[in-house]
Amino acid sequence: MLGAIEKLYTFVNCNRLITKVMKKLFPLICFLFSLIPFVKGQSVTDSIVVSGKVVLRTPQSPKVITAIECNPWQDSGRKAVWLAEDGSFKTKMYFPYGHSFTILYGSSFINAYAEPGDSIYVEVDAERLSKGEENALFSGDRATVNNEFSAAYASLHSAFDAKLPDDTTALQSYMPVFQSEYEKVRERVAAYAQSHAMGAEARYLIDRMALYSLSNLAFDYKGASPQEQLAFCTHLLFDIYNKENLRVMMFPYHLASCLYAVLNADSLLLQYAKEKDFQKYCRRGFQVLSELPESPSRDVLITAFAERMQENGDLELPDRRLFVNSAFYDYLFQSVQKMKVDFPEVEVDADVQFYTPEGVKKVETTNFGHYLKEKYKGKVIYLDIWASWCGPCRAAMKEAETIHRLYEGKEVAFVNVCLSSNQKNWNQFVASLKGHGEHYYVADENASALFMSVFKVKGFPTYYLLDRNGKIITDKPARPASVAELSKMLDEALDVSE
């Protein structure tokens, strides 16, 4: 049980480590564990169409483009599609409320905003993109706000940085520095907005992006006490109960730190965690969160807590009456007991490498998902999707040696698939593991993008547990370090499959 509670606290720190690695490229990594509620009065339409064309391509230009919903729920949309011969593309994405999202081409992120029912069209200039220049031109719905918002973010995001005091600095000293740094960024935003005659909506989006990007830098703030940590997260500056903030994809990061602070400030929760009393911990957690002001943000916090606790197994669900929008609750928890679904098929037109102590071998397949299911047919599969640059991924793999030894000789395959990574770094790290697990490397960014889309990979590491027939048991199995919890899951999977 303690593993589940520890994961709740370590999850946000793992995200922070990944954010630090990626922030120079793009700090808005859509990797989080909470859900954003439906907005009251939303349209019956609950999806958007994202289409467009990549122009001025070269043979070396990426062949896949990805629309990323950036909803921090577990099933957040990530739609990767092959470009047609003329560079055109089109995809449809679940989108239940209005908020900002991203389009990923190569290593460049393009920011946009949409409302349910919108059709967003964007032309991407691959030549300008390769030079690091502004490269997107929107038309279709919300063209004006998206052209303004995308250009503003491309120009200003490097300024969304700050030199903040140590994370244990007393709040009375820390907060004035944070506010001063934010004012500096706001001045730059204001100057840009005036010189480019930005409209009010795009101005609001970029200003909120600035604020919550800075708060993300303060993610690990602890202050002089848990109460100071909580006071920082809920400071009036952040206006956390204003539902308009949910339109900005950086806001959930701030809510994640709020959740950590709320739980950390409650003495009873800390006591139950120490006693390893899972049921009392869950009940108290729901009680503490239900006492927060009624709002969509509270829905997010309750959901985030429930999602993490659910990973431990049976969970007493929160009271439906706690939710501002009961439809959100129904969407979220009606499928707690999910039926098994087939292992996804992943067509890859690229090299997939398999590690052996004697050397790396090429996997001869154009459908990697089917290949894995057939190769390990009859075995329970514990799938780890990771990246070589991801610190938490490497740490988890080293911790996995214990669980590997426990199931040595049993019908369990520990399969590790490395994406979006340097092959030399992958090879060196896997060699250091001394043969534990089955290791694959997808040697192409296009294929990596497709794999992440099919498996709904929002961040690294991502885990799946599959039965002997290649059907997914859960997309939230215990992690390798939680040996007792994972052993229980594996034993149950072996017993059921026999």
Q: Residue 89: its pLDDT value, please?
A: 96
Q: Residue 371: its pLDDT value, please?
A: 87
Q: What is the pLDDT of residues 299-310, one digit of tens each?
A: 888 887 887 776
Please state whether the peptide bond connecting residue 461 to the residue before it is cis, i.e. omega within 30 degrees of 0.
Answer: yes
Q: Residue 342: its pLDDT value, please?
A: 66
Q: Residue 135: its pLDDT value, please?
A: 84
* Confidence band for 202, pLDDT divided at 50, 70 and 90: very high
* Confidence band for 332, pLDDT divided at 50, 70 and 90: low
Handedness of CA 167, 170, 171, 173 (dihedral sign): negative
Q: What is the pLDDT of residues 115-131, one digit of tens each?
A: 999 999 999 999 998 88
Distance (Å) of CA 454 to CA 104, 238, 377, 448, 457 = 15, 35, 20, 10, 8
**Which comes out higher in pLDDT, residue 315 or 434?**
434
- What are the residues whose beta carbons fall under 8 Å from the beta carbon of 230, sequence distance 6 or more? 258, 261, 262, 264, 265
- The residues pairing with 353 across neighbouring beta strands, listed in sequence order, are 362, 441
Average pLDDT of 58-68?
Answer: 92
Q: What is the pLDDT of residues 465-481, one digit of tens each?
A: 999 988 888 888 888 98
Q: What is the pLDDT of residues 357-412, one digit of tens each?
A: 888 999 988 788 888 888 999 999 999 999 999 888 999 999 999 999 999 999 99
Q: Residue 284: its pLDDT value, please?
A: 94
Q: What is the pTM of this model?
A: 0.75
CA-wise closest residue to 19 among 308, 462, 390, 301: 390
Q: What is the pLDDT of residues 253-302, one digit of tens each?
A: 899 889 999 999 999 999 999 998 888 998 999 999 999 999 989 988 88
Q: Residue 333: its pLDDT value, please?
A: 65
